[in-house]
Structure 1
């Protein structure tokens, strides 16, 4: 349904610069917005985009609105303190999220008689719940999800379609597992015996703490003896791999295809871009940040920013990058200097020959 700018401003505690009675019907990014769309501006980097945008109205701060006006923008503005937060709130008015399920415990799900559920739980058809599983209140378990024996799941968890919890796994409260996530598979551990690889049993577990979100087709392997732990508030993107025995701290954020080898210890608030790889038994300090495709080959200190393979300090990595960009130019310079040196050596040799001839005479 459409909303006038006045209605939106009142609900967002904002003020209007422009036509308060104008209606908008949807939300969109600045680059794709039309005259009936609401967008937002929360960075000076986007000022160029707003000048070419067709957005009917834009959520932004008073300072950014003033800069946009100075550069010629005639857009309608709703002024707020935090544009992105206000935009999300407005977006959910235009595009409400699906309401809670009402399916209850489906008769088409296979639920062992010893499984226990808190109030308000919903289990979809074709889900499997094993022996002695304990599920807290207000949880949703999607179609085809598998929860093996002796798992414990906290309150308000969402386990999407075809996610798998192996036996003895523990989830805290408000955990989200997206489709195809696998928690508690055996770690990749083998002994080389008599010319072949012999499997090492993994009798540990996985503990997922409160408020963790794990992306689609992401895997977290169980520990060999103890627990692989994913700390409170950590967010793992799709296709992330966490190997056995890792201890991941609180509020980490890993983008797609990050791979953490076994027995790594990682502090709190660590960020990793896509395809970062970490070798086994590495320790990473809290607050460290790694750019995409960084390769972490040894222990890393806290609070630094690192790039490259092997990962090094950001400033050094940038300096190395620009040096590599100049390699063709430097190669030509070295060739020219080599030729000049050869010519000088020839000239020097020619000058020395007459002197040697006179000495011989």
Structure 2
């Protein structure tokens, strides 16, 4: 028979193997609280912004990489040293920021200059063609090549070229003012730009530079002519070749070292010669960078100009039946093409030169800090 206690479940006992002691029974472990539910993405606590990884302090930059805060950009360029692509982008932004000056005023000045040059070329061409009849007859006795008209047109173009050169110089100085204002996010009006009297300092510097080149070229040509006159032909050829190479190298070097003179004269407000000396010093240590960027810019501007001028020349040859491009209609067609080409190229070159000046000063003098302070003041 069984007793009532036999129906109650008994706690089983554990028998240790022979030769070992029986360990005491372990106390029961109380169950802990259940784990908190995992919220779906975006729920619960704050989530870190995309791209930041985790909250907390930012990771330090890699070794050798200096940390730089985001540059302020109130206008067409960020206020920090620029790369070549940023300079070109800033030049296009300068045109979009103030098209009334960068295109409207530029087109007006270039139109007046090219029109005056075309009138001078047309007038001088007739006079020169009559005066050069004897020379053209020796080269083209039948007159079928139109040598007299070509020589007269070339002479007229040479006489009228200074008009375009001076107008381009004036325009470059005026556009630099507009670009400098666009850097701060401001827009210069046509009236404000035209009141920049310092543009005549740029014209004076251009005239002095041109006079110096006339003296240098005159010395080389005079030496060659003198040697040739004395029957020293071989020496004349050697002097001519070496002189041409010397003038080329000197021209590249001098043009690069004085590249920043126009923007310095327009923007710094100081006297003539101290400003030229300072602009000369600014190019020290940046010669090859300035030379490379300006050379590439000049090539691009020349390609753009040729894309416009060459079709106009073909039109005069094919449709106006004027292969020498000396008739009035040809001069008008080519003149219009020159207006468009000169407006585009001068605007682009002036903007790049202005931004190169600002970039050099930001690199060497911390101009970006002053520009940022000026932008915050005028905001």
Provide TM-score, normalisation by structure 2: 0.20
Q: Which of the pair is proportionally richer in helix?
A: 2
Q: Which of the pair is proportionally richer in strand?
A: 1
Of structures 1 and 2, the larger Rg is shown by 2
Provide TM-score, normalisation by structure 1: 0.21
Structure possessing the higher relative contact order (Cα contacts under 8 Å, 6 or more residues apart)? 2
